[in-house]
Structure 1
Amino acid sequence: MFFGRNLNSITCKGLALIVIALFLRVVLLPSFSGYGGIDKNNLDLIHSRSLSLDSDNGIRIEKFLEVPQIVWGLNNQKIAFARACLTARMLNRTLLMPSLSASLFYKEIDRLQPISFDKVFQFERFNALCNGFVQLGHYSDLRNRTGVYELQKGSGRKWTVERDLDQLKEFGEDSFNGYEVIRIVGKNPFLWHDHWPVKDYARVFECLVLVDEIAKEADKVVSKIREVGKEMRSKTQSAQSGVDLDSSLLQPVPYVAVHMRMEIDWMIHCKKLEQRLNVSEICSSKQEIMERVGNIVGLKSPVVVYLAVADSLLEDSSIVTGWKEGLLPVEKKKLSVDGIYKKYPYLIQSAIDYEVCSKADVFVGNSFSTFSSLIALERTQKMIRMGVTSSCGVDVRWPSYAYNILGESNGPHKWMANMSDSSLKAISYGSNIISC
């Protein structure tokens, strides 16, 4: 009896020690991430301590950063804007609302048509979503317009990433706090050196919400695509016996969006890029795109395939012919929505197409296209918010594919943005190394 009580006492003490040890391990020791997929710690959207702010202090609203006009295509402008935001964050300053470019001129700078940021994206919504991370300000917020210091961005091969980072750190020191505005002069922010991980850019991109007018135009295009899909489903099912048409037609009609890069200037660019990088997975012919989209594993047909193509290809009727049976290809002209696009300048047209592609049930693009890469990044973020850390080999809600890379069953390769990348290089300039 005595021995039994002693044994129970020893057992209880042992269990108590184990519990205490486990508690101390959890509290005091760092956790270790597993292998495979995406490390959840890497999904934390808090900046690395070396380039971040003290989160308790937030962004200063009385000190500002001014940047040059943001130019080029929509995708380049979004990246340039995010880079400007992250630069302002590093300097602990509010970014003065920059001017975007409505037109697309790569060399003729004097022909660029400026457009205010808040004509494209919601200003207040941006600040609300990015509160505490980055901050936008109006020029009307300035108190002393004479308190400006001009920071000349370096250029050329000698202006290394390290020198650029040292310069930014210098201008973040207390000695420059006397200036209300630091104005960066020189090249377009897209061309600035990159010092931030993908997750920080993704955080900024999440805060970019289109103004209602543009968002409604994109919704009209999406509704038209789904309407065509509903008609196609109705015709298909009416020919089948034993199908409950009413319940089927009430369900959302999915669609596939394909960002087809086939225009002449792209083909010239990608051929040169293949030669320079000594790779063969950049350019894709129309035939290759059609075949790979048709071979997507698990894709249910019939289904509408929206082709996001350059205006120069709209007159080429061959882009909607030759597709696999069960796939109904449409583009803005065939949908009779080209009038929506024609009302707006290039930047807004791209923003509408971007929204249509990002909302697609399945997206297929080119991993060397910045436009496609940003959409894949946004869709990756959506999955992460839903708790999905890897789409590889899994049936997920927002799948993306790269048609320029061969995947399963001769289809396009599954594509998920690498959120642990230390820079945005792969997205800015393209890569054939994708997470899946």
Structure 2
Amino acid sequence: MEMLFNCKLLKFMAGGNLNSTACKCVLLFVAVLILRTLFLPHSPGFEWSNIVYVRNQSPSVGSGIRQDKFLEVPQIVWGLNNQKIAFARACLTARMLNRTLLMPSLSASLFYKEIDLLQPISFDKVFQFDKFNALCSGFVQLGRYSDLSNATRVLEMQKGSGRKWTMERDLDQLEQHSRVSSFDDHETIRIVGKNPFLWHDHWPVKDYAKVFECLVLVDEISQEADRVVSRIRGSTEPLPYVAVHMRVEIDWMIHCKKLEQRLNTNQICSSEKEIKERVRNIADLKRPVVVYLAVADKLLKNSSILEGWEEGLVPFEKKKLGVDEIYRKYPYLIQSAIDYEVCLRADIFVGNSFSTFSSLVVLERTQKMIRNVDVRWPSYAYNVPGELNGPMRWVTNMSDSNLQAISYGTNHISS
């Protein structure tokens, strides 16, 4: 109002001249407000202050996600790909609440049962923060704790405990927090509970795939993967390679046998012999070809995984390849990220459809085929028999309504 008088607006309205461009803009703004008041219907409780609030409190209008309201989540745990799924769920939860997700802490170690032994690692030590926001702009948004204006304006939201917390209750709670205005008064909603993002999802596969596409490894880890792939292919005449994610560890075999009994199937576990036979029987597999065995470090001393391969299939694992020193420099999470990238880039990938690691590799390879229909990224599941006792062709069903198949595995894979 002070500006109005400084511009001699009263004189102007009486017929005087207006020379200031700034004053013209002010007058135009006032005119718009007056017209809006006259012609728009009055809503109960509507005040002009609400317009100011929306304008000031939504700096990210246009990008789709508010950058002044935040969601905070606990440290994300378990294996690399379970952590990626949990991270995506946290992102999609923040999106549902129209909030920016505060950059979470991941877990470098795998002591998932001993919470006190977990080794935290910042998200931006594994994935590129700015690249994530650039690729996911308008869909989901990551923020830093330095973005908070008042760290005390926090609302704690208990999200239940593991499988006891049902999907229905989870969704009802999220919907309530997304529509009740009193919750919106808090700058930050802090989710509390034991591993709240390991169990439930309410979003289609394509939403998860979008988040995964925005996850780009930091240069250091990507360059280590480059070194491993270079060793696999060779330097003189680069060879194609098949990456096989071998799940034959003792703890896996115990788990999968129990799972087979519970699901009344025999298509989860696979022995070394069966895996080698299925890979050998891949249709149109050209030889010679390098076979990279992505296996747990504790199996590197087991020479049997390198034996029994058909002539023309040249098997390598980290030690024989001479890259184990690369992996030993890093904690578990980084080792797994390197192996994931090596499997992702393979000419052919063969994995287990009940493995989260294998499932996410296939999802990304499926995405690559969708983006570039002229390039093939064939993938197979060795635990499900296909043609001529080879492995079953495997692509991710991107139209699935949730991530159930990828989170917990299935032998009903798309081909």
Q: Would the aligned equivalents of 2:162 and 2:194 in 1 still touch at CA under 8 Å?
A: no
Q: Would the aligned equivalents of 2:154 and 2:186 in 1 still touch at CA under 8 Å?
A: yes
**Quick one: distance in 2 between partners of 1:363 and 1:264?**
23
1:384 pairs with 2:370 = yes
CA 1:155–1:104: 2 relative to 1, 3 Å: closer
CA 1:384–1:286: 2 relative to 1, 3 Å: same
Counterpart position of 2:246: 260
1:325 pairs with 2:331 = no
Counterpart position of 1:224: 231
Q: Would the aligned equivalents of 2:96 and 2:178 in 1 still touch at CA under 8 Å?
A: yes
1:339 pairs with 2:325 = yes
Counterpart position of 1:434: 413
Q: Deviations over 1:268-291 (max 9, x none)?
A: 000000000000000000010001
In the alignment, residue 328 of structure 2 is paired with which amino acid? K
Counterpart position of 2:396: 417
CA 1:317–1:63: 2 relative to 1, 3 Å: same
Counterpart position of 1:398: 377
**Quick one: distance in 1 between partners of 2:203 and 2:84?**
15
**Quick one: distance in 2 between partners of 1:428 and 1:120?**
21
1:55-74 mapped onto 2 (5 Å cutoff): 58-74=64-80
Counterpart position of 2:149: 143
**Quick one: distance in 2 between partners of 1:346 and 1:157?**
26
> Is the partner of 1:307 in helix, strand or coil?
strand
In the alignment, residue 180 of structure 1 is paired with which amino acid? E
> Is the partner of 1:334 in helix, strand or coil?
helix
1:202-241 mapped onto 2 (5 Å cutoff): 202-227=209-234
In the alignment, residue 351 of structure 1 is paired with which amino acid? A
Higher relative contact order (CA 8 A, sep 6+): 1
1:140-179 mapped onto 2 (5 Å cutoff): 140-155=146-161, 159-173=165-179, 174-179=181-186
Q: Would the aligned equivalents of 2:288 and 2:314 in 1 still touch at CA under 8 Å?
A: yes
1:364 pairs with 2:364 = no
In structure 2, the gaps of 5 or more residues are: 1-59
CA 1:110–1:182: 2 relative to 1, 3 Å: same
Q: Would the aligned equivalents of 1:55 and 1:132 in 2 still touch at CA under 8 Å?
A: no
> Is the partner of 2:220 in helix, strand or coil?
helix
**Quick one: distance in 2 between partners of 1:70 and 1:191?**
9
**Quick one: distance in 2 between partners of 1:56 and 1:192?**
32
> Is the partner of 1:185 in helix, strand or coil?
strand
1:314 pairs with 2:300 = yes
Counterpart position of 1:350: 336
Counterpart position of 2:204: 197
In the alignment, residue 267 of structure 1 is paired with which amino acid? M
**Quick one: distance in 2 between partners of 1:315 and 1:414?**
31
**Quick one: distance in 1 between partners of 2:317 and 2:163?**
43
Please state how far the C-alpha of 1:340 moved relative to its aligned partner: 0.2
**Quick one: distance in 2 between partners of 1:62 and 1:353?**
37
Q: Would the aligned equivalents of 2:103 and 2:144 in 1 still touch at CA under 8 Å?
A: yes
Percentage of pairs with the same residue? 78
CA 1:156–1:213: 2 relative to 1, 3 Å: closer
**Quick one: distance in 1 between partners of 2:103 and 2:225?**
24
Please state how far the C-alpha of 1:158 moved relative to its aligned partner: 6.4
> Is the partner of 1:379 in helix, strand or coil?
helix
Report which of the two structures shows the higher radius of gyration computed on alpha carbons: 2
In the alignment, residue 401 of structure 1 is paired with which amino acid? Y
Counterpart position of 1:109: 115
Please state how far the C-alpha of 1:177 moved relative to its aligned partner: 1.5
Q: Would the aligned equivalents of 1:81 and 1:189 in 2 still touch at CA under 8 Å?
A: no
Counterpart position of 1:295: 281
> How does the TM-score come out when normalised to structure 1?
0.79
In structure 1, the gaps of 5 or more residues are: 1-53, 231-248, 389-395
In the alignment, residue 170 of structure 1 is paired with which amino acid? Q
Q: 1:118 aligns with which of 118, 124, 127?
A: 124
Q: Would the aligned equivalents of 2:203 and 2:403 in 1 still touch at CA under 8 Å?
A: yes
Please state how far the C-alpha of 1:154 moved relative to its aligned partner: 2.3
Q: Would the aligned equivalents of 1:152 and 1:186 in 2 still touch at CA under 8 Å?
A: yes
Q: Would the aligned equivalents of 1:76 and 1:190 in 2 still touch at CA under 8 Å?
A: no
In the alignment, residue 196 of structure 1 is paired with which amino acid? W
In the alignment, residue 340 of structure 1 is paired with which amino acid? I
Please state how far the C-alpha of 1:175 moved relative to its aligned partner: 2.4
Instruction: Supply the RMSD in Å over aligned alpha carbons.
Output: 1.5
> How does the TM-score come out when normalised to structure 2?
0.83
Q: 1:99 aligns with which of 89, 99, 105?
A: 105
